[in-house]
Amino acid sequence: MTIALETQNLEKQFGGLRVTRDLSLKIEQGARHALIGPNGAGKTTVINQLTGVLKPNSGRILLEGQDITDLPVHKRVLRGLSRTFQINQLYPDLTPLETIGLAVSERLGHGGDWWRRMGTRSDVNGEIADLLTRFHLLDVKNEQTVTLPYGKQRLLEIAVAIAAKPRVLLLDEPAAGVPESERHDILAVVGSLPRDVTVLLIEHDMDLVFSFADRISVLVSGALLTEGPPEQVARDPQVKAVYLGEEAVNV
């Protein structure tokens, strides 16, 4: 099996605090890999290093075998590494149509076009239409993002990441804060991602993790505690100790 995304001895410190400790992860091509851990375990810090928002103090990050440790954020995206954010990072003034249109344009290399009007490329328009439909955003495509209900914003957050046609997708708590009534849409979308897309899921919600992941890594205090298939991780006494009192692990 080929490795889609790999970290080698990743190390990150904020002042004296080691938030990522000698972390070596291997995520297989096409995997549904979950990264779990209690609050403050440094999960989001890992994501931020993978995507280039933060630079690790040492260690390497490989995307499909190539070293991307020093690449800026936008170049990693063009190489097929895309993410969603735990807290929505959208464009409040832009519409879903514009937001997705921009992501598609950038991927196809039209993002720097300064003369041709937005909306005049049929290939881009087609993809926008597809994504809007798939993510149930067609009816709100011309509304300003800031005015959308939270669940729709969450869908848009994921749609934008998918618009980059990633080969590796990092989902940072995709269902966080979504009301129960709208959760189903999110979970369905996450579940229907094509199999050739490798997914790394950061999640608190154990139901989601155990229904979705085929492999789980447990992060505690920035270091890898254990890793394995869901059944094995669920039985692991160390993991149980970490999540003591959280009945969700009793799968």
- For residues 131, 133, 137, 138, the Cα torsion angle rounded to the nearest 10 degrees is 120
Distances (CA, A) of 68 to 50, 63, 117, 231: 9, 6, 33, 33
CB of 142 to another protein, least distance (A): 6
Residues across the chain? 251
Beta bridge partners of 228: 216
Q: Examine residue 194 and tell whether it contacts another protein (CB under 8 A).
A: no
Is residue 82 part of the contact set for another protein (CB under 8 A)? yes
Exactly one of 12, 33, 43, 83 binds another protein (CB under 8 A); that residue is 83
Residues 165 and 109 sit within 8 Å (Cβ to Cβ): no
Shortest separation between residue 30's beta carbon and another protein, angstroms = 23
Residue 102 contacts another protein per CB under 8 A: yes
- Residue 71 as a binder of another protein (CB under 8 A): the answer is no
In the complex, what is the shortest distance from the CB of residue 83 to another protein, in angstroms, rounded to a whole number? 6
70: contact with another protein by CB under 8 A: no
Q: What share of the chain is helix, strand, coil (3-state, %, to 5)?
A: 35, 25, 40
Among 142, 181, 192, 250, binds another protein (CB under 8 A): 142
Residue of 36, 61, 77, 242 interacting with another protein (CB under 8 A): 77
Residue number, 48 or 210, with CB nearest to another protein: 48
Q: Which is nearer to another protein, 171 or 239 (CB)?
A: 171
107's CB contacts (< 8 A; 6+ apart) are: 78, 163, 164, 165
Binding pattern to another protein, positions 211-240, x when CB under 8 A?
------------------------------
Rounded CA gap, 33 and 171, in Å? 10
The yes or no reply on residue 103 touching another protein (CB under 8 A) is yes
Q: Under DSSP, is residue 82 helix (H, G, I), strand (E, B) or coil?
A: strand
Q: Does 160 bind another protein (CB under 8 A)?
A: yes
Provide the strand spans (E) within 109-204.
Answer: 168-172, 198-202
Compute φ and ψ for 225, nearest 5 degrees. -85, -50
The partner residues of 227 in beta bridges, in order of sequence, read: 217
Taking CB under 8 A as the binding criterion, the range among 60-68, 73-81, 197-205, 234-242 that sits at the site for another protein is 73-81
- List contacts with another protein (CB under 8 A): 51, 53, 72-75, 77-78, 82-83, 85, 89-94, 97-99, 101-103, 105-107, 110-120, 122, 125-126, 128-130, 132-133, 138, 141-142, 160-161, 163-164
